[in-house]
Amino acid sequence: MGTDRRAFFKGIAAAVTLTAVPTAALARQKKIAPSDAVGMLYDTTKCIGCKACVAACKVANKMPPDTSGYGRGLYDSPDSLNQYTKNVIQLYKEGDEQSFVKKQCMHCVDPACVGACMLGALQKGKFGVVSYDVSKCVGCRYCETVCPFNVPKFEWAKAAPKIVKCEFCKDRLAEGKEPACTEVCPRKAVIFGTYADLLDEAHRRLTNDTAKKYVPKVYGEHELGGTQVLYLSGIEFEKLGFRFKQEESVPHLQQTVSHGIYKGFVGPIALYGLLGAVLFRNRGNSEKES
């Protein structure tokens, strides 16, 4: 019995090691934006809330109007991103303080949704754009669960639902055009450019004589591992709905742990071999005694 007990504890030890590697030094490299990365820079101090970008987005993406809000069916008036809306302007107002804020997919450098998606329906592709391919989607909504910005939306009203999210007007990019929202903005509150140029531009605005207009920070430069959509704001970012300040990307923890456990699939194969060997040696005993 002694040796069997030892085998049992060996098995348990193997199982524990399999799940316990998280602390091991299998460090996962921090992801950086691809070399061809493009982006948007949105500046709340320039936005006048005209929603030209919202209308242009609907036209470019052939999205239906959302008439459930203001105007009782007369106007397209989405109050947040939803199954009809890939880009939205929201208003923050508290006392004298007010600010508009534009919301769309942030096109994370290390996106949680891409890490979540089973068959790669969501993928980070050309220009670093996070795009969606419905043919590989089973509608599990795990992308919605994990997105720290609550961007992906689900067509709840449909029997054959899709995920709805900003894809950076990837078809327009392919034609050499910029996204509909940046093209149409009359105040250049949101501008299109290469990721590197936009970071430079953001920091230029934070350092020259306009600097006092801003909270001294480019949101998205470091937050959640970095995002290709960057924000400048006159009021704190939390008030605009950006809840998280952590600099580690969301997938970093899970992928460090999972890669530790499943590195080369050696762990599971070894455990299977061990289980099989112990079973093989113990074979017959269970019937004998029963």
Partner 1 sequence: MHTQAQPIGGPLFTRGYMVLLALAGIGVALMIWRFAVGLGVSTGLNDGYPLGIWIALDVVTGTALACGGYAVALVVYIFNKGNYHPLIRPAILTSALGYTIAGASVAVDLGRPWNMWKIPTYVWNWNLNSSLLEVALCIMAYVFVLWIELSPAFMEKWSVDGPPLLQKWSKRILPIVNKALIWIIALGMLLPTMHQSSLGSLMMLAGPKLHPLWLTGWLPLLFLMACLAMGYAIVVFESVFSSVAFGRNPEIPMLINLQKIAAWGGLVFIAVRVADLAYSGNLRYAARLDLYGTMFWIETVLWILPLVMMLAFPRPTLGSLFRGAIVVALAGALYRFDTYLVAFQPGPGWHYFPSVPEMFITIGFVAIELAIYVAVVKRFPIIAGMAPAR
Site for partner 1 in 124-183 (CB under 8 A): 134-142, 144-146, 148, 150, 153-162
Region from 52-60, 108-116, 168-176, 226-234 binding partner 1, contact rule CB under 8 A? 108-116
Residue 54 touching partner 1 (CB under 8 A)? no
Between residue 228 and residue 287, which ones bind partner 1 under the rule CB under 8 A?
Answer: 241, 243-244, 246, 250-251, 253-258, 261-262, 268, 271-272, 275-276, 278-280, 282-283, 285-287
Q: Kindly state the smallest distance separating residue 52's Cβ from partner 1, in Å.
A: 25
Residue 210 touching partner 1 (CB under 8 A)? no
The token pair at 63 is: 């999205």
Residue 77 sits at the vertex; the CA angle it makes with 72 and 82, to the nearest 5 degrees, is 115
86/205 with CB nearer partner 1:
86
Region from 4-12, 99-107, 170-178, 213-221 binding partner 1, contact rule CB under 8 A? 4-12
| Residue 259 CB-half CA count within 13 A | 13
H/E stretch holding 170 reads: helix 170-174
CA nearest to 188, candidates 51, 91, 54, 47: 47
Give phi and psi for 123, each to the nearest 5. -145, 150
Residue 119 touching partner 1 (CB under 8 A)? yes
On whether the CB atoms of residues 237 and 215 are closer than 8 A, the answer is yes
Neighbour-count burial of 236, counting CB atoms closer than 10 A to its CB (0-12 exposed, 13-18 middle, 19+ buried) = middle
* Bridge pairing between strands 38-43 and 229-232: parallel
Binding track, positions 9-48, relative to partner 1; x by CB under 8 A: --x---xx-xxx-xx-------------------------
* List 76, 78, 101, 115, residue binding partner 1 (CB under 8 A): 115
Q: Kindly state the smallest distance separating residue 33's Cβ from partner 1, in Å.
A: 18
Residue 116 touching partner 1 (CB under 8 A)? yes
Contacts of 19 (CB under 8 A, 6+ apart): 261
182/249 with CB nearer partner 1:
249
CA nearest to 166, candidates 56, 266, 258: 56
SS3 169: coil
Q: Kindly state the smallest distance separating residue 94's Cβ from partner 1, in Å.
A: 14
